[in-house]
Amino acid sequence: MPFQKTIKSEITLSGIGIHTGKKINIKLIPAQRDTGIVFYRTDKGVPVKAKLPFVIDTSLATTIGIDGIKIRTVEHLLATLYAFGITNLIIEIDGSEVPVLDGSALEFAKTIMKTGTAKQGKTIPLFKITKPFLYESSRSRIVAKPYKGFKITYKIFYEHPLILEQSLSIEINEQIFLREIAPARTFGFLKDIQYLLQNGFARGGSLDNALVLDEKGVVGGKLRFRDEFVRHKILDAIGDLSLVGYPIKGHFIIEKGGHTAHINFLKHLIESGYYELEEEPYFNFQLSTQAV
């Protein structure tokens, strides 16, 4: 089993929320063993654990919350913490959305690399897939299989000449995440912007924090990878899967996924019992009234 980890010193970051359009400040604070990943809304005085029972919305981002208090777009930061093996952290945030920064996880990753992590002298159980498990919805298909490490195979399909069908199968560890996944930016389509704005989304979106596509290609920018779109989907999936609260051992094959599919898949996987953990996890979806 891996050791629990936190960061060596505090980290402060600021940026715009891609959906709220508001400036937000966050502070990552080292935490004691067995704390877990906990967001703390400093403007509300409310803590919320980054665990599956506290997911309250999956519309275009993953949102956690409790008693009407929410934190949106947690997936990029959570993916980074997972990739670096950080299991204990307090995240102070003065608004309702994690800053999008440049639309990727690269700044989160580089800042944590610079600060460093610290082992805490206590192990954490592994969440191991023990039997193949299939989840299907009207548009998505996700399979989990036993595997010695943590691997994601992702396939996407978009009727756009720059994307069409993209797929990537990749083992997830700190080095691969930093090099191959963290730089991949969120993306959207110019034709959808008016609808998104009218429905309370993308108010902070810009060419500085997202890949925007018109009918032919990327507007005002260049791709970091030829298949940057599927790489970003893998980034999102890592963040969503991390909400089980433990390091994962398994191979996840995802077709036409998204935040809603990822979270629904996790809930059904937990209910199936096709996993193994050395101690009983907290997965009570009905009694999620206490965040810490």
- The domain limits of the chain are 3-125
| Consecutive H or E run containing 189 | strand 187-189
Q: Are 62 and 259 in contact (CB under 8 A)?
A: yes
CATH topology of domain 3-125: Ribosomal Protein S5; domain 2 (3.30.230)
pTM confidence score: 0.93
Q: Are 90 and 31 in contact (CB under 8 A)?
A: yes
Over residues 143-172, the pLDDT tens digits come to 999 999 999 999 999 999 999 999 999 999
The confidence score (pLDDT) of residue 278 equals 64
Of the residues 19, 259, 262, 268, only one is catalytic, namely: 259
- State the residue for tokens 């997972």: 82
The confidence score (pLDDT) of residue 292 equals 33
pLDDT confidence tier of residue 226, bands split at 50, 70 and 90: very high
Q: 221 — phi, psi (to 5°)? A: -170, 180
For 140, residues 6+ apart whose C-beta sits below 8 A from its C-beta are 254, 255, 256, 257, 258, 261, 265
Q: Are 174 and 85 in contact (CB under 8 A)?
A: yes
Asked about 160 being catalytic, the answer comes back as no
The confidence score (pLDDT) of residue 216 equals 87
Residue bearing the bigger pLDDT, 48 or 216: 48
The confidence score (pLDDT) of residue 279 equals 64
Residue 72 has which token pair? 């949106």
- Among 243, 234, 238, which Cα is nearest to 283's? 243
Q: 256 — phi, psi (to 5°)? A: 50, 50
Q: Does 19 show up as a binding residue in the annotation?
A: no
Q: Which amino acid is at 1?
A: M
Q: Dmax over Cα atoms in the chain, in whole Å?
A: 53
Neighbours of 282 (CB within 10 A): 12
- Among 34, 33, 37, 30, which Cα is nearest to 8's? 30
Q: Are 265 and 133 in contact (CB under 8 A)?
A: no
What value does the mean pLDDT take over residues 127-133?
A: 98
